[in-house]
Structure 1
Amino acid sequence: MRQVWLISGPPGCGKTSWILDRLKKHNSSCGFLRLSGFSENSLEQANSNEIDYVFLKDQIPQLIDLSKSSDQLCTDQDGLLLFIELPQFYLPKESGLAGIDRRVINQLENLKLIPDKYLHFGRDNELPIVDTLNFEKIESLSINLNETVWDPPSLNTFWFELVNGAYGDVYRAKALMNIIDGRFMLFNWIVSRNGSQFLQLNNFAPPKGRPQRISQLIIQGRNLDFVSIKSTVNLCLVNDAVLQFHQASLGNQQLAAT
């Protein structure tokens, strides 16, 4: 029979990483859904639904996208494990399934995904607490980067400046980036950790034209300089002429090597 687990917690606590670890240990069908969560007073949620799924799908190719699933998933399939990720700033008022926000229950009922188990970072001992932070105020910025390609040196400079306070107090930053040579990179940073995570994903796009895959930058923090961030990002992206020049050069190198 299938199992449906709801995993919630504040930004950067490790929800997606914990889910990935469990999925890697699962030997049968699996699915994933990230809910948007709810902003609370001065705490603004980030629109990062696509980043988490794309990353998990890259690592677990057989992963089912529950946001686009059919009614077939609502049947009891042997060994089917479904994870629902929920960003949530506050501790649940009650333990176990009784602590699920009623608004979330309504969403899940519409999707026919009623949890069998509910765990929240900072409450349940099954989950780590090292990166579980309490936020009093948080702003969020989401930048759609589809079909964009980054200049690597400019990207490295921008990311260093970003996480070191050049554009405000950044608590959380993550992104999927297209690199000029066809690589697809995950950038990940949380204020409670030492250093950033840079991971080259398996989804390589041959350097020919602009890549057709999800790319996005998510930033959460306080006193963020939205205008400067967007302006700097635009300066780091290569235009058509530069992209064509580099891709032609890469193509010539590949021909010479054959």
Structure 2
Amino acid sequence: MQNTWLIMGPPGCGKTNWIRDSFLKHPGSCAYLRLCGSDQEGLEQGHNAGIDSAWLQDQIPELLDLATTATAPLPSGPQLLLIEVQQFQPPTNSSPSGIDPHLLRQLERFNLRPDRTLHFGLDPELPQEDVLDFKRLESWHRNLQGCVWDPNSLSSFWFELVNGAYGDVYRAKALMNLPDGRSFLCNWVVSQQGSQILPLESVEPPAGRPNRTSQLVVQGRTLDPAGIQSTINDCLLTDDDLELHQAQFRYREHSFQTKG
């Protein structure tokens, strides 16, 4: 029997973490889908850059992402399909009849009809500590595919970003590549005491630019996109600098294997 749940809530409330925990507790096969929510007056949606699905699939390699495998049948056995949507205001009720028509049209394209709807800020079984009521929200994003950061510069940039150097940032999420082949999920919301910086399980060989999802999504007020972009440009490694970094990692790995 397949359970199809629609999980909604405002930016930064903990939807993806809750979904991850639910998948890890589920004994059978799991599938995930991220849909685009609706903009409201003065409230811009965060760009669906694939950060959440990439993070979930790194943590749960067998997870099926319906956005990229829409025609593939779900595996047999107990199934759980969780659909994530960023939605600023809770619906009038948690039944399927309360789903936004904009979402219904997207669900129809996948031939889906949720049998359960949960909204952060409405349903008491969901965490409440990071549910914020946004009155005005701008959004900006940058595709960083193939980009690699100088490690020290990345730390400085992220600190500046979430501490107001480029406007009042309320929400920031990113997947960032480092020259040693690691990638990190950087996650911050204004209600939290600090940033969540988590390494991905998968590590690529330190040989050239990685071919995996790398994105930055920022939401806030009076954002300074030009300032963010200028600093990013200063923090990314050129081809020559990247090779210098990676050559050191390859030499250390070779030396270790030789001694071993």
TM-score range, shorter chain: over 0.9
Mapped to 2, the partners of 1:36 and 1:2 lie a distance apart of 23
Amino acid paired to 1:207: P
CA contact (8 A) 1:36 1:49 kept: no
Runs (4 or more) in structure 1 with deviation over 6 Å come to: none
CA positional deviation for 1:49: 4.2
2:222 alignment counterpart = 223
CA positional deviation for 1:95: 3.2
1:173 alignment counterpart = 172
Amino acid paired to 2:27: N
CA positional deviation for 1:45: 0.4
Q: Deviations over 1:83-142 (max 9, x none)?
A: 000000112123322211011112111201110100001001111111000001101111
CA contact (8 A) 1:44 1:140 kept: yes
Mapped to 1, the partners of 2:208 and 2:136 lie a distance apart of 41
RMSD: 1.3
Amino acid paired to 1:208: A
CA contact (8 A) 1:48 1:142 kept: no
1:137 alignment counterpart = 136
Identity score, percent: 52
1:254 alignment counterpart = 253
Mapped to 2, the partners of 1:103 and 1:36 lie a distance apart of 9
1:156 alignment counterpart = 155
Q: Deviations over 1:3-51 (max 9, x none)?
A: 1000000000000000001000011110001111111111000113400
CA positional deviation for 1:70: 4.3
Q: TM-score, normalised by structure 1?
A: 0.96
Mapped to 2, the partners of 1:94 and 1:3 lie a distance apart of 19
- Equivalent position SS for 1:67: coil
1:15 alignment counterpart = 15
CA positional deviation for 1:222: 0.2
Mapped to 2, the partners of 1:113 and 1:103 lie a distance apart of 14
Q: TM-score, normalised by structure 2?
A: 0.96
2:56 alignment counterpart = 56
Stretches of structure 1 that go unaligned for 5 or more consecutive residues are none
Aligned 1:113-132 pairs, distance under 5 A: 113-132=112-131
CA positional deviation for 1:239: 0.2
1:27 alignment counterpart = 27
CA positional deviation for 1:73: 3.0
Q: Deviations over 1:170-218 (max 9, x none)?
A: 0000100000111110100010010001101111011000000010011
CA contact (8 A) 1:37 1:45 kept: yes
Q: Which moved more, 1:87-96 or 1:153-162?
A: 87-96
CA contact (8 A) 2:49 2:215 kept: no
